[in-house]
A and B are shown apart, each in its own frame.
Chain A
């Protein structure tokens, strides 16, 4: 019995990480209906960026990853803003093909440049023992400190993003261009700038997710597509346009994978995919849909 409780708890915590992967994508989906097929590769790029920054900063290992994450956030925002403003804005339209092909091309470029720079070896960000520390709960159950921390950050980010979306001026701009771009333009919003802001913020989330992912486990240049699929599944399971939904979607995916892995290691990822497909069949709008 403890074994199963352990599995569920691990799954929930894993789901927190998946939710962090997904929130950036959820924001981009929600604001401009853009499918960024390089999303997972940008998470991996962020992880490698943090890895290099940790080496460059030279702080003690307990502090270095957090300093690296802090340094990465403005860079990520700039990259996201620039990418949207100067590349992706030009691919948006009724036809999804250009944006899909361009982001897919970016994915291939990122994967292969990372492979060239860092080789195919898996790397991990040194965090001074945080990745193996644990917190005991109950008699014979303990959870990892870092996964717990990641889950806490995921919840905080979901709350923060939902607040940003619902209660702030920039969130109002996001909702306005999402609902009716032309009407928003008439009200004085520059949709190119608003889109670029959305991608910039999404990339901040990507940088947080990537650094934490690199601290928790090993990353290698070819990992991106798998993360893209998890993120996508979490968004669709949770329902479009709600960050709490995305958090719930990530947790459902994490728990499903954990249960699958426990039954048979070969079927863990498979179980997650199948639950997603079943969701499409029986509840295609997701659990907590807000927008269409």
Chain B
């Protein structure tokens, strides 16, 4: 018996990803027009949420895909902010130009730090990274040149007109947010991304298939540090003021864990959905102060236990919807019937 070769193709796009891609382009173009007509308050809000989105995308990459659950990513967010401050205030670098440089510098710091952090795994890694973040906070709080514990202002922006500053900051945030989503998407579709997914499923099996586990994990850790540094530089560029307690607070990671878990960990859509939800909750409930935070904590617990896939994970599973397909689907073409 002979079988005719079955015609097939490997499909990477979905209908949703094509429609979604087009819609996203229109939406980003709409956002980009904000500085010409929108309220300054809106742009400030957007900037803040863009920073959360970047930070959450990176945490999701690290924890959701890389299996490295860190409670210390605020270390890199704070370093990004302080790198921006030092370059702008003391180095005379244009603060807007300093943003990407700050992110690269943060990534360079993460390289030696990873040597210590990677000594720990699982839950120990989580708390160990938190200790590292505390070391950075306490170190910078002792440096009087950057204002010590009470922090300082970003004086480098003094000569720049307010309208220009607000618009350029907004555009930078928008570009960085889109770029971070694109970066994670591109990374996960690449060979390294495939290796990362294999490591998440089984470290030993992927190692035996020739995946360099250590190098892949280090790469992810460095990219996540870069993204966190970028978010930090942008946040304090918009905020104009930085202090060790604001820059290195564990709340950054706490809110991010909430965003990613609620949205759906291990998906690219998840953090985006999570940030939108977080923005809405913040807008309408943050006036309740401590009870609002109690609610966020409880919600995170319930979702983790009852709905571990999160909001987007549920939708994607239920409706087979995928705006950022990273998997490869085998499409078989039926052989013509005789």
Mark A residues whose CB is within 8 Å of B: 33-35, 37, 87, 90-91, 95-102, 104-109, 111-113, 115-116, 225, 228-229, 232-233, 236, 264, 266-267, 269-270, 273-274, 276-277, 280-281, 284
Contact = CB atoms under 8 A, between A and B. Distances in A.
Interface stretch (B165-173, B212-220, B289-297): B289-297
A104 B138 contact: no
Given A98-B304, A108-B294, A225-B130, 20 more contacts: A37-B71, A37-B127, A87-B301, A95-B67, A98-B308, A100-B123, A101-B304, A112-B291, A112-B293, A116-B294, A228-B127, A232-B124, A232-B128, A267-B138, A270-B135, A270-B139, A270-B142, A274-B135, A280-B128, A281-B119
12 contacts: A34-B123, A35-B124, A35-B126, A37-B123, A37-B127, A100-B123, A106-B301, A108-B293, A116-B291, A228-B127, A266-B138, A273-B134
A87 B302 CA distance: 10
A225 B245 CA distance: 14
A116 B297 CA distance: 15
A115 B127 CA distance: 24
A112 B294 contact: yes
B15 interface: no
B119 A280 contact: yes
Contact of B131 (A97, A98, A229, A267): A229
Contacts of B67: 95
B138 A273 contact: yes
B259 to A, nearest CB: 12
Given A236-B124, A280-B120, A106 B131 contact: no
A33 B305 contact: no
Given A101-B304, A104-B71, A96 B123 contact: yes
Contacts of A99: 123
A195 B54 CA distance: 38
Contacts of B250: 225
Contact of A112 (B135, B290, B304): B290
B127 A104 contact: no
Contact of A96 (B126, B290, B304): B126
State the main secondary structure of chain B at its contact with A: helix
B137 to A, nearest CB: 9
A277 B132 contact: yes
A37 B300 CA distance: 14
A34 B127 CA distance: 12
A148 B124 CA distance: 31
A143 B134 CA distance: 30
A277 B265 contact: no
Given A102-B305, A109-B298, A270-B142, A33 B115 contact: no
Contacts of B294: 108-109, 112-113, 116
B75 to A, nearest CB: 12
